[in-house]
Amino acid sequence: MARTFAYFMNILIIGVLVTSIASGMLPTHPSTLQKRGITSTKRGAAYNDATLVSALSSDPSIISWAYNWGSTIDGDIPSGEEYVPMLWSSTDVDGWAAAVKTALADGSTYLMGFNEPDSPSQADMSYSDAATYYKQHITIYSQHARLVSPAVTSSTTTGEGLSWLSSFLSHCTDCKISAVAIHWYGSTLAELKSFVSEASKMASEFDISEIWLTEFGLSNDESGITDLAGTARFVEEATTWLDMNDSITRYAYFWCADGWMLTNGVANSVGNAYVSFSSSSSSTLSSSAWTLSSSHAAASATFNASFFGHSGLCSQRFIAPFIYTNTIYEPSNDDLFALDFSSSHL
């Protein structure tokens, strides 16, 4: 099995490289692979103070979008980051049309629905009322932007969370929704994975493949992060998994503010973890002799390549693993094929 797998991977990589070179996708001097500058299209900044968003900037920037639970940008955010307006609740419709016009003119390509309408302390709307307001104030822009559903909590109480969202989508079948939005607070990555899996299954029932995790964090940190090191570790693990998850297309950790991802207006260890690639996907490589190792293979083979890691060259199936930065993985069962640059596993 190991030799068959290794042989297949050699053929796969050679095929990918030949195709890439022929299509001009590879750099002209690929003999040394530098740290990848692939910007995540998923990671966003949730903010209230626009002047703080730049604190999460990196080189290259990994933040591609931002929102502030409102309909206007309220300041300036770094160039290259898409602002996504939100209609917070049914009581915020005044000025919405003008805000959408401005946002679309400035390059916004998405519009977001209500904020936690399933929660009495937030937008607090019935799913039927939410569907009515959504059609009146958001669906009308479906020819100009992609539409995101109301963002619900991770509550498991009947009539809240995914239960509310399912009822809303059942009443809003003609709302032209492209993505569903969810929020999550919990204690472990396993809990987050389980919730995302449930949301993905629910969304698929309505033929929606995009999921936005527009607010997430550890329950103990909702009033401020006290264990920076522990939260930073969680952020590293969570963002790595979210980047590999096909159903999640955008996400935003809670949040770009002092006491959370910032300290005195500067990114702290949590903020730095959020805007950094994990160590497994950001290594500086200088050798063209690589070893492919697998968590479930007894052996693997060294193969030579001049360049590797262009995201998206292969389909996301076991027979054609997806290439992400400097790793190969098969997301359907979370198997990770890590590239080991230090030793052979023959």
Q: How far apart are the first and last CA of the chain?
A: 13
* 183 and 242 part of one domain: yes
Average pLDDT estimate for 131-152: 98
Q: Is the pLDDT of residue 113 over 90?
A: yes
Q: Is the pLDDT of residue 101 over 50?
A: yes
Closest CA to 127 of 72, 95, 166: 166
Structure letter (DSSP) for residue 116? -
CA of 94: how far to CAs of 7, 90, 100, 138, in Å?
Answer: 62, 9, 11, 13
Name the more confident of 134 and 25. Answer: 134
Query: Is position 282 within any domain?
Result: no
* pLDDT for residue 14: 35
pLDDT tens per residue across span 7-61: 333 433 333 333 333 333 322 222 222 222 334 579 999 999 999 999 998 777 8
- Reported confidence tier of residue 277, pLDDT bands at 50, 70, 90: low
* 264 and 177 part of one domain: yes
What span, in angstroms and rounded, lies between the C-alpha atoms of 66 and 41? Answer: 11
Closest CA to 94 of 73, 71, 111, 110: 71
**Residue 184: both structure tokens together:** 């999550």
Average pLDDT estimate for 315-336: 35
- Reported confidence tier of residue 276, pLDDT bands at 50, 70, 90: confident
* 148 and 173 part of one domain: yes
The phi and psi torsions of 290 (rounded to 5 degrees) equal -115, 150
* pLDDT for residue 122: 98
* 16 and 100 part of one domain: no
* 142 and 164 part of one domain: yes
Average pLDDT estimate for 269-280: 80
Which amino acid would we find at residue 319?
I
* pLDDT for residue 183: 99
Query: Is position 12 within any domain?
Result: yes
The CATH number for 237's domain is 3.20.20.80
Overall domain count for the chain:
2
Query: Is position 283 within any domain?
Result: no
* 32 and 51 part of one domain: no
* 109 and 255 part of one domain: yes
Q: Is the pLDDT of residue 332 over 70?
A: no
What span, in angstroms and rounded, lies between the C-alpha atoms of 209 and 200? Answer: 7
Name the residue range of residue 319's domain: 2-36+288-340
User: What mean pLDDT, rounded, does the chain reach?
Assistant: 77
**Is-contact 185 213, C-beta < 8 A?**
no
What span, in angstroms and rounded, lies between the C-alpha atoms of 294 and 272? Answer: 29
* pLDDT for residue 226: 93
Q: Is the pLDDT of residue 232 over 90?
A: yes
Which amino acid would we find at residue 163?
S
Closest CA to 180 of 240, 129, 117: 117
Structure letter (DSSP) for residue 86? B
pLDDT tens per residue across span 155-207: 999 999 999 999 999 999 999 999 999 999 999 999 999 999 999 999 999 99
* 306 and 322 part of one domain: yes
What span, in angstroms and rounded, lies between the C-alpha atoms of 305 and 72? Answer: 48
Average pLDDT estimate for 312-319: 28
* 147 and 229 part of one domain: yes
